[in-house]
Amino acid sequence: MTVMQMPKHIHTEVREFLKLAIPLASAQVVQSATGFADTIMMGRMGAEVLAAVGLAAIIFLSIMTTASGVMMGVSPLIAEAFGAGQKFRIEQVAHQGLWLALLVALPLMIFTAHLYTWLSHSGQTSKTMQLVNTSLDIMLRGLFPAVGFAALRATVSALS
């Protein structure tokens, strides 16, 4: 029986790929696990609380996904500057990425703060809507730090 051996450069490529992929995949798993833990904790508080927090979480996840998508544009710009050896350009783009995070987060925070008016027409009970509004108010405070973290994560992933 013959055994195929991969060329050495493929082993090196796989190793380098895993060095990049494992931390990024781990961050995604941890982020998803927090939603799972939230669901377990809220489930003990009753169906109405679980429904409200679930609705708020889906809304916030949609907003956060939009903001993170915008922040992904930072990564290729930094990678390009890194490849060209332009350290000053890397600093510029990283700083601009944080300003972009603020610019993206502020309108989304205002939008989120006024969602209650639109959501009141969704057919939910008034108590559920009050809980959704409270949950969104709490999540709202973490929006800029989360978007800023997305900018920093894009920077770090471009430099590795």
Q: Which two tokens stand for residue 138?
A: 């709490």
Q: What is the percent of the chain with per-residue pLDDT over 90, rounded to a whole number?
A: 26
pLDDT at 97: 92
The 10s digit of each residue's pLDDT in 57-82 is: 888 888 988 998 898 899 999 999 99
pLDDT at 7: 67
The 10s digit of each residue's pLDDT in 126-148 is: 888 898 899 898 888 889 999 99
pTM exceeding 0.95? no
Please report, for residues 60, 64, 113, 137, 141, the alpha-carbon distance to residue 145 in angstroms, rounded to integers and kept in the order given.
14, 11, 16, 15, 8
The 10s digit of each residue's pLDDT in 104-131 is: 999 999 988 888 778 878 788 888 889 8
Q: How many whole angstroms from its chain centre is CA 91?
A: 22
The 10s digit of each residue's pLDDT in 79-88 is: 999 999 999 9
Q: What is the percent of the chain with per-residue pLDDT over 70, rounded to a whole number?
A: 96
Q: DSSP letter at 6? A: -
Q: DSSP letter at 160? A: -
What's the whole-number average pLDDT of the chain? Answer: 86
pLDDT at 81: 93
DSSP three-state, residue 46: coil
The larger pLDDT score, comparing residue 95 to residue 51, is at: 95
Q: Is the pLDDT of residue 1 over 80?
A: no
